[in-house]
Amino acid sequence: MSTTPPRTTSRIDASLVFALIGLGISVYLTVEHYTASTLLACPESATINCAKVTTSKWSEIAGIPVAVLGLAYFVVMTALLVPAAWRRRALDPVRIVAAALGAVMVVYLVYIELFRVDAICLWCTGVHVCTVLMLGAVLWRTSVIDSAEIGDD
């Protein structure tokens, strides 16, 4: 029975790449939140309006900016998705639950954007897409490892 997971570099890279992109966008949104600059590079039309979304009353949860929560989330996910962390199979349930919770949060935030704020933030959408793709990559990676181990028995 092999204790080393199979080499699945593309899936490790995909999950980590999505986490790093999400981290980068979250850093940007956090800086924007605290500097109140107008560099969001997002059109201010009726439907697409980053400033409207990021300054709405729903841009904070329990007094914490959503951008900061996203930043913290992607820091944790990046740590869970580096190659060294993937070698620790005991972290698989943590990775799956954390990625799934991120996807649940995406559903909530998209609902808020569409039905409460009545605007979409393109930067936030980038974070949402990264979160959902990261969940898919994590599920794929863990299923590949499980399949390979079943074949080792």
Written as tens digits, the pLDDT of the chain (153 aa) is 545 555 444 444 799 999 999 999 999 999 988 886 666 677 777 788 888 998 899 999 999 999 999 999 999 999 999 999 999 999 999 999 999 999 999 999 999 999 999 999 999 999 999 999 999 999 999 987 666 665 554
Instruction: Please tell me the CATH superfamily of domain 10-44+51-148, with its number.
Output: VKOR domain (1.20.1440.130)
Residue 11 confidence (pLDDT): 44
DSSP letter at 60 equals E
DSSP 81-97: HSHHHHT-GGGHHHHHH
Residue 6 three-state SS: coil
The full set of domain ranges for the chain reads 10-44+51-148
63 to each of 8, 31, 57, 59, 60, how far by Cα in Å? 41, 17, 10, 9, 5
User: Quick one: CA dihedral 144, 108, 129, 77, positive or negative?
Assistant: negative
Give dist(CA 59, CA 67) in Å, integer: 8
